[in-house]
Amino acid sequence: MNRKITDASKFLSYVLRHQPDAIGIMLDLEGWTDIAALINCAANAGKQLDPNLIQIIVATSDKKRFAISEDGLRIRAVQGHSSDSVSINYDEKVPPKVLFHGTAIQFLNSILKVGLLSGARQYVHMSQNIQTATDVGQRHGASVVLTIAADAMYHQGFKFHQADNGVWLINQVPPQFLALTSSIK
């Protein structure tokens, strides 16, 4: 991916997930915003976007971070939000037996003590495969992968959701449902 696309993609993540106020756009509860208004407000803030660049970002995003509405007029981030103005009504979904969460070794003691917390984001993010979890953890330091007893949690009433890009979401994971992945293989 070239530099211009990466920069614009990071900018879109910033305003569509975290700080819409930074450029004066409004996100609705489902996270959607008008593409024309987004382009205008971005330009006023000194960031050049155009419909073609936005289409390329949406189509080429490795993690399918964004979606465009069927009428082509609106865009949203499909998950990863911290903004209070967004409250996506994700369907509840039955999880697979286990899910994985990649984190960095320096967070491990705290996580094993109090569980996985969503922190600044609205949800804890989990993946269905170990490689993705490993990559996610590596963003913060030396990666360690935790196995989440999703099936057991589900049967105890915890609610699981899955965003359109496949990322699994949950409010929190108490420590008793966590294990180091290598130790249970």
Relative orientation angle of helices 35-44 and 51-60, to the nearest 10 degrees:
110
Nearer to ligand HQG, 40 or 138 (CB): 138
Nearer to ligand HQG, 40 or 171 (CB): 171
- Binding residues for ligand HQG, per CB under 6 A? 63, 65, 80, 103-104, 107, 110-111, 114, 116-117, 119-121, 125, 136, 139-140, 167
Q: Cβ 104 to ligand HQG, closest distance in Å?
A: 6
CB proximity list for 20: less than 8 A, separation 6 or greater: 26, 27, 33, 83, 85
Give the residue closest to ligand HQG by C-beta: 103
Q: Cβ 8 to ligand HQG, closest distance in Å?
A: 14
Q: Cβ 116 to ligand HQG, closest distance in Å?
A: 4
Nearer to ligand HQG, 97 or 140 (CB): 140
Nearer to ligand HQG, 111 or 150 (CB): 111
Judged on CB neighbours under 10 Å (0-12, 13-18, 19+), 184 is: exposed
Nearest Cα to Cα of residue 65 among 1, 148, 22 = 1
Tokens (6 digits) for 141: 């330091």
Nearer to ligand HQG, 55 or 118 (CB): 118
Q: Cβ 137 to ligand HQG, closest distance in Å?
A: 7
Q: Cβ 40 to ligand HQG, closest distance in Å?
A: 25
